[in-house]
């Protein structure tokens, strides 16, 4: 077989791997953010048939809007079954090699899905997250990400990713299970999933090659409003140490190591690039975390 033919087959194989994905997220009201999210996904080059949206009993017109779109899957739950249950429904609707599980209050750039999957393949990872900006979109997002993804393309936070946007290989679900479908966890399902991966020493990362904008936890803020919980308080108080079956010392050591790692990442990224892989937009300025 000639070199040209071999390269051609490798290109076809890579293209197949890059296209074998789906995207899913849950909704609970917050229609305007869902519209922005879906529009940005389509603008990024994502085929609408790859998108599975699971609605947890919205009452603000979200369900009518979703049904009017030509998406791959629209699942309408009769009640709020929790993020965990909804994510599982979306993941199982397509059962792709890669599933991007994300919030509905996100804006994504051109080539978003392909960028995450290619980074994962190139680095032999099964779970990756994009870099992100949280907060108000009072800046030129297109210009920002075009500059940032070049400037920070080689920056990686190995051992760090987040549930706001996760690109997950199917094998992780088969080996370690899906998200816990317990409505009382009220968003803590991602913590349980990550804990299982940490226990199994599954490597994961955040890459500077892909950047998203995250408006903020709008669904959680809505749920707090409905439940009468102050916005500065956590949505649900759980003893995660007990859920993780950790001793007091194990929990303290884990938090200490996590804090130290973030401090080291931030110091290095600021010194080399004058920015980090996680920024917050506040008062027309970027605050680098």
The CATH number that applies at residue 66 is 3.90.550.10
Cβ atoms of 209 and 132 closer than 8 Å = no
Give the pairing of strands 98-102 and 21-27.
Answer: parallel
List the structure tokens of 286.
């970027």
Domain containing 112 equals 3-288
Write the CA distances from 30 to 13, 105, 251, 260, integer angstroms: 39, 9, 35, 36
pLDDT digit string, tens, across residues 172-206 = 999 999 998 888 776 678 888 998 998 899 999 99
Q: Which position has the token pair 């009769």?
A: 78
Q: How many CB atoms lie within 10 A of CB 272?
A: 12
Task: Tell me the pLDDT band of 235, cut-offs 50, 70 and 90.
Answer: very low
Q: How many CB atoms lie within 10 A of CB 166?
A: 22
**Residue 59 pLDDT exceeds 90:** yes
Task: Tell me the pLDDT band of 5, cut-offs 50, 70 and 90.
Answer: very low
Least confident of 87-91, 115-119, 231-235: 231-235
Structural domain total, the chain: 1
């Amino acid at each position: 077989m000639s070199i040209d033919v071999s390269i051609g087959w490798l290109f076809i194989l890579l293209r197949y791997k890059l296209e074998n994905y789906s995207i899913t997220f849950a909704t609970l009201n917050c229609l305007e953010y869902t519209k922005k999210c879906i529009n940005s996904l389509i603008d990024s080059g994502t085929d609408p048939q790859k998108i599975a949206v699971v609605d947890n009993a919205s009452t603000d017109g979200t369900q009518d809007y979703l049904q009017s779109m030509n998406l791959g899957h629209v699942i309408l739950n009769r009640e709020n079954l929790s993020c965990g249950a909804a994510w599982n429904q979306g993941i199982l609707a397509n059962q792709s090699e890669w599933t991007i599980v994300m919030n509905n209050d996100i804006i994504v750039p051109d080539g978003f899905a392909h960028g995450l999957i290619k980074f994962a393949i190139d680095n032999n990872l099964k779970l990756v997250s994009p870099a992100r900006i949280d907060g108000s979109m009072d800046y030129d997002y297109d210009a920002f990400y075009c500059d940032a993804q070049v400037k920070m393309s080689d920056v990686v936070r190995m051992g760090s990713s987040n549930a706001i946007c996760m690109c997950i290989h199917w094998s992780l679900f088969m080996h370690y299970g899906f998200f816990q479908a317990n409505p009382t966890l009220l968003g803590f399902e991602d913590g349980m999933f990550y804990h299982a991966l940490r226990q199994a020493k599954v490597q994961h990362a955040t890459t500077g090659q892909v950047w998203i904008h995250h408006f903020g936890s709008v669904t959680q803020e809505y749920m707090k409003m409905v439940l009468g919980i102050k916005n500065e308080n956590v949505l649900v108080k759980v003893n995660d140490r007990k859920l993780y079956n950790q001793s007091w010392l194990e929990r303290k050591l884990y938090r200490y190591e996590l804090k130290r790692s973030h401090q080291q990442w931030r110091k290095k990224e600021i010194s080399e690039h004058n920015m980090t892989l996680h920024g917050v937009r506040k008062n027309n300025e970027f605050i680098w975390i």
